[in-house]
Amino acid sequence: MYKFPDGFLWGTSTSGPQSEGVEPGDGKGMSNWDYWFQEAPEKFHNGVGPGRTSTFYKNYKEDIDFLEQTGHTTFRTSIQWSRLIPEGVGEVNQQAVEFYRDVFERINAKGIKLMMNLYHFDLPYALQEKGGWENKETVYAFRDFAATCFELFGDLVDTWFTFNEPIVPVEAGYLGDFHYPAKHDFKAAIQVGYNTQLASSMAVEACHRLNPDHRISVILNLTPAYPKSDSPEDKKAARIAELFQAKSFLDPSVKGEYPEELVQIVKDANALPEYTDEELDIIKNNTVDFLGVNYYQPLRVQAPSHTGDIDVALGLENYFDNYIMPGRKINPHRGWEIYEQGIYDIAMDIKENYDNIEWILTENGMGVEGEEKFKVDGMIQDDYRIEFIQNHLKELHRAIQDGANCHGYMLWTFIDCWSWLNAYKNRYGLVELDLETQEKTMKKSGYWFKELSENNGF
């Protein structure tokens, strides 16, 4: 038996842009994703854009009933900035206020602890046009958006998050091609990362001031980086990968400052962002109350093949290369390595190096393509998902036995939802969605998750 501590939270996570659907006429503004889809629909799997989701915006009353049927004691989604404040700053969309208040009241009425994230990769396009996260104006706009949310919904939300996986838009949008604006610019990437951290710290400050009884955090994808060998070159590469991909937000969020080693690397690359001492004080004085941790896959790292002078166009490849470990266990649909022990290693890092701060596993999950082929008598028999969750929970359980301060497990995701460029390619839900009819059906894992929650273990 794997029993979890009393009061351990069981739930799922989703996000506004991935579940609500766009409802023209209800005052929602355009986000960076809506814009990108309009400009380049061919980039999106099967040409399915952010308007075609599980349409939680329309069907939330029935959808919320599934939270009970799947045994949720907690649930996370996000407020879409472009729905609440269509231009990013200024006027608040009253229809959005009514929508979110009704959703939150209904979830509260079921006794489910509501966790609310403020930014899940979705920027109002009006701000993107002015430079997006490269421009400090976006930082102040985010602070004001966050304060508006605390004032409008503080009575209904239990726990707040500022950003989901803030490193992802930095890497995917400024060092790669998976998020808008898809440019390769190392210096811009560093500025965007810094500005995002500053915005997060400012939101923490606003929450503590406006909602002093509430707790607030950030959600980080803490991919551990494992070196290919014990050679000093591979170990150094893994250390740098970890600094960029995990510690760049973890240290300022929890400790209030950037790791010295990382600052030096950025300095050497001539890529220090524009900052002020007042801003660094804001980061220093507004650390998170606990942590949200997403875990899907580890990083396997080797020394970079590029040597010599830093080539700014190369970005992170100046410092490390990823490699595919022979014999690794892999989710063939998503292409991601499955390595359950990563959870344990993250837990021990938090315990040893971050004062054992309290944390919640806010995302972990298995995306599967063509799930309908696993349907028997009208229900998807997703034993592979149950096994995936169990195997990860065993490592989480071991970590808790060894002192990890983890208070909950949240699966990605609740009802199959839309996902960025992959759209509906991979399904993650406890509840199946028929995209054409909007019919929703519990998967086997949905029933199993309820038992898991009721037994507080398996």
Using CA atoms, how far apart are residues 204 and 91, in angstroms rounded to an integer? 23
Helix or strand or coil: residue 352? Answer: helix
Peptide bond into 413 cis (omega under 30): yes
Quote the least distance from Cβ 284 to ligand BGP, whole Å: 27
The smaller minimum CB distance to ligand BGP, of residues 189 and 283, is found at 189
Q: Which residues make Cβ contacts (< 8 Å) with residue 277, sequence separation at least 6? A: none
What is the size of the binding site for ligand BGP (CB under 6 A)? 14
Three-state SS for 262-306 is HHHHHHHCCCCCCCCHHHHHHHHHCCCCCEEEECCCCEEEECCCC
Quote the least distance from Cβ 105 to ligand BGP, whole Å: 25
The smaller minimum CB distance to ligand BGP, of residues 224 and 367, is found at 367
Residue 12 belongs to what H/E stretch? strand 9-13
The smaller minimum CB distance to ligand BGP, of residues 247 and 334, is found at 334
Please give the residues from 201 up to 240 whose contact with ligand BGP meets the rule CB under 6 A: 221
Quote the least distance from Cβ 316 to ligand BGP, whole Å: 18
Among 122, 165, 171, 382, binds ligand BGP (CB under 6 A): 165
Do 361 and 343 contact (CB within 8 A), yes or no? Answer: yes
Among 334, 385, 392, 443, binds ligand BGP (CB under 6 A): 334
Quote the least distance from Cβ 422 to ligand BGP, whole Å: 5
Using CA atoms, how far apart are residues 161 and 428, in angstroms rounded to an integer? 22
H helical segments located in 211-231: none
The smaller minimum CB distance to ligand BGP, of residues 315 and 367, is found at 367
Do 247 and 262 contact (CB within 8 A), yes or no? Answer: yes
Strand pairing class (336-337; 330-331): antiparallel
Do 261 and 268 contact (CB within 8 A), yes or no? Answer: no
Q: Answer yes or no: 68 catalytic.
A: no
Please give the residues from 357 up to 386 whose contact with ligand BGP meets the rule CB under 6 A: 363, 367
Please give the residues from 403 up to 442 whose contact with ligand BGP meets the rule CB under 6 A: 412, 419-420, 422, 426
Tokens coding 80: 């879409």
- Residue 164 within binding range of ligand BGP, rule CB under 6 A: yes
The smaller minimum CB distance to ligand BGP, of residues 226 and 412, is found at 412
Closest residue to ligand BGP, judged by C-beta, is: 419
The smaller minimum CB distance to ligand BGP, of residues 165 and 432, is found at 165
Quote the least distance from Cβ 416 to ligand BGP, whole Å: 10
Using CA atoms, how far apart are residues 178 and 159, in angstroms rounded to an integer? 29
Q: Answer yes or no: 42 catalytic.
A: no
Catalytic, out of 134, 171, 363, 432? 363
Quote the least distance from Cβ 269 to ligand BGP, whole Å: 26
Using CA atoms, how far apart are residues 215 and 232, in angstroms rounded to an integer? 41
Cα 361 to its chain centre, rounded Å, is 11
Residues that bind ligand BGP (CB under 6 A): 15, 18, 164-165, 221, 294, 334, 363, 367, 412, 419-420, 422, 426
> Among all residues, which ones are annotated catalytic?
165, 363
